[in-house]
Amino acid sequence: MSTGQQKRRYAAKEKAKALALAEKIGPAEAARKLGIPEGTVTMWRYMAKKSATPTSPVSPAFPMPETETKTEPPKKVVAKAYKPSLRAQVLEFVADHGVTAAAAKFGVTRFSIYNWKRQLALHAEGKTESSPVSGSDEDLAAKRDERILGEWKASAGLGPSQVRNQLRRQGFKVSLHTVRCVMEEHGYVPPKVRRNNEHNQRFEAVRPNQMWHLDFLHRHINKQKVYVLLILDDFSRFIVGGAIWDGERVAAVQETFSSAVARHGKPEKVLSDGGSAFHSWRGLGAFTELLTELEIDQIVAQNPQTNGKLEVLNANIQKELFNHEKFFDLGETQHRFLAWVDFYNFRRTHHALGGVLVPADRYFGRAEEVLACIETGKPIGGIGEPACLSERQLDLFRISSHRGQVELHLLGHRIPLPLAR
């Protein structure tokens, strides 16, 4: 025996009649006249408008009323660009009639008008060099798209947010939505990223050279397997060392690490995985001995997420270099790799550094000066780039000890000493 209320079923003819009547007198009145629940009629109308076919939810034998038409998918709206002459006309109208009247007359948002007024006042006070009413009346939208595509094509592996940040550092402001729409119109396909939120513990060093990350990246160049060794500073994300080798060998790690120490000084700690080139589970490994001699603490990561900063760097170098470049030999690979490292350190903005700073800004202590230049609209003027030789403090002569032997270095080159008899 049934204990609940029986669900009423409607024929396709009843649905078509209800939809037609609802278009004339409304869903509530149509439901009352036909004795159908108002929620049911509302649901039929919603499903009919949502469906791609003009007969849903009605059977093909009973089509929907002619008033129902197939809706086109909404077009993505790109930010509107205004010419300087139009801005000047709007601001003149504002002086006589107010912001609200100007927004209604010219179809400009009040936020944009207030922003133009603020920029004009700063320019009059000499606090900024740019003015909203100065410049040519060329097609600003085409110029904007050209800059976006030019920055994207210069480094095809960058995504919309990274391209937007690169332009922000150059003093060109554009929204992320606009950048994404322009890139998608010219062939950009967003990657399918699956984020794992199981590991949410974060840490960051408080000064340069407090902690370095080491890891190998495996790649194939013309069917030959190569191993890319990267050394990353945790505080600034600055790549202090990197090289391409033919295997995960301890000698490769020692040589690359020693070169990074000679160039940037030694770190306080080193973080790596438990690979045989970095750590030996039985006895004392050769790389561990080197760190002990230099009085550097070694930390071995127990899971990949602990060394996550370098895992992200490995993904970026694959996306921005190896997936977009074709190499003929290992020599060309090494040359292009070093060029990408230079781009990453001195020209590529980093999300973890606020979106407008590059790793060199934080590593060399120039972050505040760069941010001040960006906020005031002034050109950065070489900030973040290596200092010229006349202003650089050079380590001309150094005496060090390696494996119990005294070593002399002149301008970064080791001077061989005669063996004691």
What is the full DSSP assignment across 316-353? HHIIIIITT---SSHHHHHHHHHHHHHHHHHT---GGG
Higher pLDDT, 360 or 46: 360
Look up residue 96 and give its two tokens.
Answer: 């006589």
- Select the more confidently predicted residue: 391 or 10: 10
Helix locations, 266-405, DSSP H: 286-293, 308-317, 330-346, 359-363, 367-376
In whole angstroms, give the CA distance from residue 258 to residue 151: 36
| Secondary structure of residue 228 in the 3-state scheme | strand
The residues, ordered by sequence, that sit 6+ positions from 154 with a Cβ below 8 Å of its Cβ are none
User: Would the pTM count as exceeding 0.95?
Assistant: no
The model's pLDDT over 85-138, given as tens digits with 9 standing for 90+, comes to: 888 999 999 989 999 999 998 888 899 999 999 988 888 888 887 788 887 777
Q: Please say whether the beta carbons of 47 and 27 come within 8 A.
A: no
Helix (H, G, I), strand (E, B) or coil at 215: strand
For 145, counting Cβ atoms within 10 Å of its Cβ (0-12 exposed, 13-18 middle, 19+ buried), the class is buried
- Compute the distance between CA of residue 94 and CA of residue 101 in angstroms, rounded to an integer: 8
The H or E element spanning position 244 is strand 239-245
Q: Which pLDDT does position 308 carry in this prediction?
A: 79
Dihedral sign, Cα of residue 316, residue 229, residue 218, residue 281: negative
CA-closest candidate to residue 346, choices 324, 327, 366: 366
Domain boundaries, the chain: 1-73, 84-185, 211-376
pLDDT bin (cut points 50, 70, 90) of residue 388 is: very low
DSSP letter assigned to residue 116: H
On whether the CB atoms of residues 90 and 106 are closer than 8 A, the answer is yes
In the chain, the percentage of residues whose pLDDT exceeds 70 is 80
| Domain 211-376 of CATH type 3.40.50.1820 | no
The Cα 11–Cα 175 span in angstroms is: 51
Type of residue numbered 376: T
Each residue of 21-71: pLDDT tens digit? 888 888 888 888 888 888 888 888 888 877 644 444 444 444 444 444 555
- Contacts within 8 Å (CB) and 24+ apart, 337-345: 337/228, 337/242, 337/244, 338/242, 341/239, 341/242, 343/155, 344/239, 344/316, 344/317, 345/238, 345/239
Is pLDDT at 339 greater than 50 in this prediction? yes
Strands of 397-402's sheet, edge to edge? 397-402, 405-410, 413-415
Round the average pLDDT of the chain to a whole number and report it. 80
| Distance in angstroms (rounded) separating the CA atoms of residues 130 and 122 | 9
Check residue 419 and give its pLDDT: 59
Q: What is the pLDDT of residue 90?
A: 92
Tell me the CATH class for 1-73. Answer: mainly alpha
Closest CA to 231 of 223, 222, 218, 240: 240
Of 293, 294, 252, nearest in space to 275 by CA: 252
Work out the burial of residue 36: count CB atoms within 10 Å of its CB; fewer than 13 is exposed, 13-18 middle, 19 or more buried. buried
| Helix extents (H) in 205-329 | 250-264, 286-293, 308-317
Read out DSSP for 13-51? Answer: HHHHHHHHHHHHH-HHHHHHHHT--HHHHHHHHHHHHHS
Alpha-carbon distance of 50 to 70, in angstroms, equals 9
Spatial CB neighbours of 123, under 8 Å, sequence gap ≥ 6: 129, 130, 131, 132
Residue from 316, 319, 386, 310 nearest 347 by CA: 386
Q: Tokens for 276?
A: 């045989």
pLDDT at 322 over 50: yes
Segment 209-250, tens digit of pLDDT: 899 998 888 888 888 888 899 999 999 999 999 988 888 888
